[in-house]
Structure 1
Amino acid sequence: MTVFTLGEASLRALSGVRIARPDAGLRPVRRGALHRTGAPVRRDSIEAGTFEAMFFAVPAKGECDHLLRVARQALDAGRRFARIERSGERALTAAEALLTRLTASAVRVYEEVCTLARLNRGRVCPSYDRLAEVTGLGRATIARALAALEAVGFLVRQRRFTRVAGAGAGPRYAQTSNAYRPMLPRAILGLLPRWMRPAPVPCDAAQRIDAQAAELAAMKASLTRRELAQVTVGGALGRVLAKLGAALDAKERESHSDPQPLLMSIEQGQADVGLDGRQRPA
């Protein structure tokens, strides 16, 4: 029988008891190392300066004004659909339910986006603070308005980040303003008046577009993986994909130059040889 002193017995009894901290329920305990970049970057962000040439588009003459008129008509239609839904007259379709999310604040923000697109040849990348200053709305209202415009289809938004100088090894990044592109939502074209919808494409133009799409698909099918990555993707991601494609192309060329025998041919060869090791006649 082992004999313990009073001090040893107390230590053994308290060794398995966890003592809660006074602030344990107020804030979670942080575990793990710090973020290696030094600053958090939101998901689906792309480095600024690597995709803008393919993202932005110069609007045609009068296009921004037309988009703004469509947004105002969509706001009025959304208010009518909201009254129909509240009265219980009928159930709304998916497109009609989307229009009910539009507000006057969203249209005001969209007006500023269209103005910037017209003045800056399609390059729209204002910050939330800039939009709040120009429109007189709060940051939370700006965020809700942009989310509503993106959900309906009036806006395409892309998050961006930039590289910043910092102490320590490794690159460091910081979130910057988003990139925006005003669009005409296809889902609500049937709900707009006929004079506000785009004119239908002529039959000969549609056939020409289909022929060009077929030629483009055939051209892409004839490219190697490296060339396809260089054509379709730009920036740092394109360079990485091009290196990966070059490695896959080299591996495929090696397999063509030194092909392995097929399993069926091996089995056929074994079947043609008898038990005595002699070749069977065909």
Structure 2
Amino acid sequence: MALHSLGDATRMALGSIPVRRAPARRGAPHPTGAPVRRDSIEAGTFEEMFFAVPARGETDRLARMVRAALDSGRRLRRIERRGERTLSAAERQLTRLTGGAVRVYEEICTLARLNQGRVFPSYDWLAEATGLGRATVARALAVLEALGFLVRQRRFRRVEGQGSSPRYAQTSNAYRPVLPRRIASCLPRWLRPAPPPDDVVVAETERRAANAAMLAGLNCRELAEALVGGALGRVLAKLGAALDASCESHSDPQPLPNSIRISANGVGLVGQHASWRPKPPPRSPTIATDLPKVGRVG
């Protein structure tokens, strides 16, 4: 019988116990070491194109619409619970709307009316204004964005004075309340938007065609400046300028000075080689050379 020391016995006993390891982190850390979330844009580079001044009474109409959507979602939830019919995808999304989401949306509409459409409150500010928890506010914003009532854009800002290179930190999101078109059929008829006139539809079609033609005529640098803003747009513009210069050099090369000279041996660069000789033209048959010779009979 083998003898084991106390240390060997303890090691053998602990080795048989499964050890639960922590899951490995996915992805690489941010180059600056700052907690910047995905799809974030630098603050101050896109707000002029993102925010829109609401029309007169538009925010009140959006608030009434989200309250009516809450009632419709509760009604659809009761219909599904009774088993009367199967809900569609848009109706099932509408059942996710809660009273907390409606309260958050009303506060965002109020900020849009007071601040000329510039809405960028933090989660803590919305939680303090609505009396809800921070997690409840985060869930409400996700539901509103999924339903189409809200457009949200993450932002980050540059922090100076921390190290030799600039650092970045996450800041509050930018919001824009919009009219959801995906669930318009689920709302009451008096809340559905009226169809636009035909002249407005034709003008919008012509505007889109002109915009597409304008973008098709731009080079790489101008296209980057027109579609992308901020630091990324400047980098893409420099890359596009390099691509444009490369394309111009390949598409319009400088002609060789000796390529058009006619020499005795040929035309262009081929005729400059001493070993090149022009091929003789094909010989056409003649009667005198091609007919067989017949002797003279005396």
- 2:269 aligns to what? none
- Which has the larger share of helix? 1
Aligned-residue offset at 1:257: 1.5
Letter in 2 for 1:150: E
TM-score (norm 1): 0.80
Letter in 1 for 2:74: R
Which secondary structure state, in structure 2, belongs to the residue aligned with residue 211 of structure 1?
helix
Structure 2 CA distance for aligned equivalents of residues 93 and 174 of structure 1: 41
Q: 1:160 and 2:155 equivalent? A: yes
- 2:183 aligns to what? 188
Structure 1 CA distance for aligned equivalents of residues 197 and 29 of structure 2: 59
CA distance 1:122–1:277, change in 2 (3 Å): same
For residues 208-230 of structure 1, give each alpha carbon's deviation from its aligned partner in whole angstroms, at most 9, with x where no partner exists: 22112212211221121211222
Contiguous gaps of at least 5 residues in structure 1:
1-16, 261-275
Q: Pick from 46, 49, 54: which aligns with 1:51?
A: 46
Q: 1:231 and 2:215 equivalent? A: no
Structure 2 CA distance for aligned equivalents of residues 31 and 94 of structure 1: 32
Aligned-residue offset at 1:280: 8.8
- 2:66 aligns to what? 71
CA distance 1:200–1:279, change in 2 (3 Å): farther
Alignment length (residue pairs): 248
List aligned pairs for 1:133-152, cutoff 5 A: 133-152=128-147
Contiguous gaps of at least 5 residues in structure 2:
1-11, 256-275, 283-298
Aligned-residue offset at 1:142: 0.5
- 1:104 aligns to what? 99
Aligned-residue offset at 1:135: 0.4
CA distance 1:243–1:106, change in 2 (3 Å): same
Which secondary structure state, in structure 1, belongs to the residue aligned with residue 157 of structure 2?
strand
Aligned-residue offset at 1:234: 2.0
- 2:237 aligns to what? 242
Q: 1:175 and 2:170 equivalent? A: yes
Structure 1 CA distance for aligned equivalents of residues 27 and 147 of structure 2: 40
Structure 2 CA distance for aligned equivalents of residues 185 and 171 of structure 1: 39
Which secondary structure state, in structure 2, belongs to the residue aligned with residue 158 of structure 1?
strand
Structure 2 CA distance for aligned equivalents of residues 38 and 240 of structure 1: 21
Which secondary structure state, in structure 2, belongs to the residue aligned with residue 160 of structure 1?
strand
Aligned-residue offset at 1:167: 3.5
CA distance 1:281–1:244, change in 2 (3 Å): farther
Structure 1 CA distance for aligned equivalents of residues 93 and 24 of structure 2: 41
CA distance 1:219–1:140, change in 2 (3 Å): same
Q: Percent identical across equivalent pairs?
A: 66
